[in-house]
A = this chain, B = another copy of it.
Amino acid sequence: MISVILIGAGNVAQHLYKVFSTSNKIKVNQWYNRHLQKLQMFKNDVEIIDDIVLLKEADVYVITISDDAVSELSKQLPFSNELVVHTSGSVNLHHLEKKNRRGVFYPLQTFSKDAELNFNDVPICIEVEHKTDYHILKDIAIAIGSPYYRVNSLQRGALHLAAVFVNNFTNQLYRVAHEITESESVDFNILKPLIKETAKKLDTLSPYLAQTGPAKRNDKKTIKKHLASLDNEMHKDIYKLLTKAIKDTHGTSTSSAFKKPNSK
């Protein structure tokens, strides 16, 4: 049995609490938050506290609070030489106070407040200061059914950045599509199967090989028509830039005489 204490009460903390509670390999000893109000609904299931000096013993302390607050909170911890991890994609391991054994337990997924999430679909990126701490974090990932990966700081940074592209920026493209369909009073739902298939295609093809469309085949006529039909300047700019990016990637830019070498 691995004992865990949670610190923080946001989305990620609540999802972690829920999945930890369902595992018979993990025991949540305590749950700390600055404001007790947010934890009230769990008070019958776990000890909740808002005074940091009351923190008990545990195998792992999991800090899931806003990035900017991690460093300061880690300094206030009333113990040393314990395993303390944060769950952020972008906070440096060394922002945790060095009096404790430091680590990162970064669930690379988008967490919605209400949506149920299967932790089989939540890859855990693990980073540790001390080699020997890897196994306990790995065992937690296994206990909740998550795939896990050991990464270093640079790799975690790359994943966090890449996640912005595939999550935040992709979602903004969905938003643009929503605006385009709404402008002609056509149902955005028609696009949802395509949206899902586009994601699913990566099961069998790399993004490089999965690419199709007017930019890929340098279909100037369609590109021109599309640009003419866009009246939102921001949509036009996005269309132009991503068309150029696809052409550059696939060597269909008219400016380049040779196909660029690319990893497939």
Complex Cα distance, B173 from A198, in Å, reads 12
Interface string of A165-192 (1 = CB under 8 A from B): 1111111111111111111111110111
Q: Residue A130 at the B interface, CB < 8 A?
A: no
User: Which among A112, A165, A173, A244 has the highest number of chain B CB atoms within 10 Å?
Assistant: A165
Overall SS of chain A's interface: helix
Q: Residue A234 at the B interface, CB < 8 A?
A: yes
The answer to whether A238 touches B242, judged by C-beta atoms less than 8 angstroms apart, is yes
Chain A, 125-165, CB within 8 A of any chain B CB: 125, 147, 149, 151, 154-155, 157-159, 161-165
The answer to whether B149 touches A187, judged by C-beta atoms less than 8 angstroms apart, is yes
- Give the oligomeric copy count: 2
Q: Residue A75 at the B interface, CB < 8 A?
A: no
Shortest CB-to-CB span from A108 to chain B, Å, is 6
Complex Cα distance, B43 from A14, in Å, reads 60
Number of residues of chain A lying within 8 A (CB) of chain B: 94
The answer to whether A215 touches B168, judged by C-beta atoms less than 8 angstroms apart, is yes
15 sampled A-B residue pairs with Cβ under 8 A:
A68-B221, A108-B194, A110-B201, A155-B184, A162-B176, A162-B191, A165-B173, A165-B180, A167-B213, A168-B211, A171-B211, A172-B249, A176-B245, A196-B199, A198-B199
